[in-house]
Structure 1
Amino acid sequence: MGKTIKLTQLTDVLSDLVPIKDSIPKYVRDAGLKIQHIDTTGSAMNVWNNVLYEADKHHAVDEVVRAVLNIYPENPFLKAALSEQEIDYTLDKDINPIWHKFENLQLEKLTMEQSTLLPINFLAKGVIKSKAVAKVEIDKGGNMVGKGTGFLIKVKGIDDLFFITNYHVLPDKDKIDKIRIVFDFELDINDNSVASKSFYIDEEGPWYSSGIHELDTTVCKLKDDENQLKNYGFLELDHTDLPEDKFVNIIQHPGGEMKQISLYHNIITYSDERIVQYLTDTLKGSSGSPVFNSRWEVVALHHSGGEKRNGEVELPKGFKSRNEGIVINPIVEFIKSSHGKNN
């Protein structure tokens, strides 16, 4: 029995959502399958692979998906998996329309001259940078719901420690008592949940905001009565270049889930003085994430999906073929100007 693209990708999705293999049998039983018929040795990914193989034999893949959807009802990956079409239902982009816009010489440069090899310390540096990234949650009727992502910053030339996210994530200072900022919402190297730490916004602190159609940025300070924010470091913001055809990486809380990273194949396809667009995987909840270059410098503040171009493939509802951030250079100038007026 051949493994389809859909099943291969579904294995990855389920492994991310349910990474502890001892939790998998519940979903197997809920799907009407017998766990004793499935090899449960090895990693969680191996077990999910075996579960889907068994489910496929019994035409029960959708039942497995629905069983997990009961716990993650808004997960767009799972929703897309129920489609009858054999589609690429992850957020990976069909890059053919993008490649077609390059001339042959440009394409040769991208595929031959531009190496994606990196020194191994790239990974260690990324882990350090990731500490400053946090989930933004809002209290809705007593339930804390993922609203976006943000990160701790210092602007070159200013010693103050700020927290930055999108304006559309934090538009209203009057409601900040309902917002909390959660750091370390992630898995460790053993796939166990890390003990997270929550902070709240300082109502008496600075509040610099620029609307959605401007820089879509909100900058504030967090309460830190116990001097704990020092454990998360910060990302320094300064002017950077944004050449097209280069790569970017985003550390984020997609869909309000645990911290994740989107790495290479994420090529910049367009930029101007205000926005940059790139082929990078994100979801609702990724708004406010830092967009990095290969030197782990922040080059943009992610804020939305880019507009669909003519000829691009249709994707499931809620998915974007490209994504978009606000270039960091005007944000740096905005923070310097706003902070100068208040000091």
Structure 2
Amino acid sequence: KALENALLDAFRNHNALKRVVRFHLEENLENIAGSSETPLVKVVNNLVDWADSQGKIAVLLIGAYQENSGNPRLKAFYEAFFQKYYLWDSPTPPQDFGPDIDWRGPTESTELQGFWQSSPDWYDVGFLQGAIAQSNAVCRIEIPSQKITATGVLIAPQLILTNYHVLHPNDTHDLQANALDTSLQFGYISGEDEVQVFRLDQQEPILSSSPPQELDYLLLQGERSLCNAKIKPVSLGVQTSLAPRMGLNLLQHPAGESLKLSISRDGITGLYPEKGWIQYVNKAVGGSSGSPCFNDDWQLVALHHAEKSRSFGTIREGILLSSIYPHIQSFLS
């Protein structure tokens, strides 16, 4: 009922509601909820019932919020709803970012949602301690001149891994110039006053790379003072066995915010080592590109790089560390 009231407050005529349904649900409002002659209250009731039966309540809510994010009642419902699923304080509608995804997982919304187990009443303290320990090596990446934010991870005393497309979103960008303008911000965490900021090495900032259509990674070399910062690199899970419906955990700076943790207890939908891909349902948004993906033992197993919205839900993809590792191994010895 609260969702219906929010929709009625935000969309006060049939035409406004038709736009939400057409562009975000890819449906015709009249076909699923009633014609323009049907009272709007009844149309909204029918629409919510239909979305619930199709497993598309979240898709409807996201679409409505994107169309009218300034409505106070809709905004309040949206934030309350997504705080149950997002661990960051200010929910952001999923947005397309990163390279295209050749999705090979479920294409029915109910099946896709089946990869989300409900959150437990409590988490093992050891598990959370593992997250905290690895979080020290995760940095917020900022390129001030381009207004770009992303995420990176320290994998050796002076070496940071992130996505190629972070520093080179398209051909209008100069990869080398962006590298020299890049800021690495470690400890960008809520409640922490001391953020350690470093630049990349000005002579050789990029040691190894693969473009977005391949493995979409950059191995960056930080300035020498990063070696003296006593930041422990993450544990690498190069030989780790992964399988669909295993847990996956992302440490990330969504939308450039302070560090957040996204946990899925069974979120892996598929593994495609011949392509170097891992696909999953963990929540992420723009700014999460380059986020480290960990298994439940807190070993780095992949690098998050793309999110796309589909009619059946939002899909995400990362690049397996086991595919990247042979290309960067010589720099780690």
Same fold (TM over 0.5): yes
Which residue, out of 165, 170, 179, partners 1:168? Answer: 165
Change (3 A) 1:163 1:110: closer
Distance in 2 of aligned mates of 1:182 and 1:304: 22
2-structure distance, mates of 1:263, 1:110: 10
Task: Give, as a single letter, the amino acid of the residue that structure 2 aligns with 1:271.
Answer: L
Local SS of the residue matching 1:271: strand
* Matches of 1:253 and 1:101, distance apart in 2: 25
Deviation per CA, 1:152-207, whole angstroms, max 9, x where unpaired? Answer: 003xxxxx64111000112412432211111111113xxxx422111000133452
Q: What letter corresponds to residue 140 of structure 1 in structure 2?
A: S
Instruction: List runs of 5+ in structure 1 lacking aligned partners.
Output: 8-75, 155-159, 314-320
Q: Which residue of 2 aligns with 1:233?
A: 232
What's the CA shift for 1:242?
2.1
One-letter amino acid of the counterpart of residue 285, structure 2: L
Q: Alpha carbons of 1:242 and 1:5: their partners in 2 closer, same or farther (altered >3 Å)?
A: farther
Structure 1 vs Structure 2: percent identity of aligned residues? 25
Match of 2:316?
323
Determine if contact 1:251/1:262 at 8 Å carries over to the other structure. Answer: yes
Conserved 8 A contact 1:177-1:201: yes
User: How is 1:182-193 mapped onto 2 (pairs within 5 angstroms)?
Assistant: 182-188=185-191, 193=192
**Residue of structure 1 in register with 2:111 after alignment:** 100
Of 182, 202, 206, which residue of structure 2 is paired with 1:179?
182
Equivalent position amino acid for 1:131 in 2: N
Structure 2 gaps of 5+ residues are 7-63, 83-90, 95-105, 169-174
Identify the residue that residue 289 of structure 1 maps to in structure 2: 291
Number of residue-to-residue matches in the alignment: 241
What's 1:210 paired with? Answer: 210
RMSD of aligned Cα (Å): 3.8
1:100 maps to amino acid: E
* Code of the aligned partner of 1:267: G
Secondary structure, aligned partner of 1:100 = helix
Cα deviation for residue 278 of structure 1 reads 1.1
In 2: Cα distance, 1:5 partner to 1:262 partner: 29
Match of residue 9 from structure 2? none
Cα pair distance change 1:229/1:175, threshold 3 Å? same
SS of corresponding position for 1:251: strand
SS of 1:169's equivalent?
helix
Aligned residue runs from structure 1 range 117-266, under 5 A: 119-140=124-145, 145-154=147-156, 161-171=158-168, 172-188=175-191, 193-205=192-204, 207-225=207-225, 227-230=227-230, 232-237=231-236, 238-264=238-264
Bigger relative contact order (CA 8 A; separation at least 6): 2
| Residue 236 of structure 1, CA deviation | 2.8
Question: Matched residue of 2:282: which SS?
Answer: coil
CA–CA distance in structure 2, aligned partners of residues 195 and 235 of structure 1: 20
The AA in structure 1 aligned to 2:322 is N
Letter in 2 for 1:285: G
**C-alpha separation between the residues in 1 aligned to 2:321 and 2:294?**
10
CA contact (8 A) 1:275 1:326 kept: yes
- 1:166–1:217 Cα contact (<8 Å) kept: yes
Tell me how far 1:325 sits from its aligned partner: 0.5
The one-letter amino acid paired with 2:203 is E
The 1-side partners of 2:296 and 2:4 are apart by 29
Give the conservation status (yes or no) of the 8 Å contact 1:247–1:264.
yes
Aligned counterparts of 1:282 and 1:252: Cα–Cα separation in 2: 8
Q: TM-score, normalised by structure 2?
A: 0.61
SS in 1 for 2:304: strand
Partner letter of residue 299 of structure 1?
Answer: V
How far apart are the structure 1 equivalents of 2:235 and 2:93? 29
- Tell me the CA shift for residue 223 of structure 1: 0.8
**Pairwise CA distance, 1:79:** 7.5
Query: 1-side partners of 2:183 and 2:302: how far apart?
Result: 23
Whole-angstrom distance in 2 between the partners of 1:6 and 1:177: 51
Aligned residue type for 1:288: G
For residue 278 of structure 1, what is the amino acid of its counterpart? Answer: Y
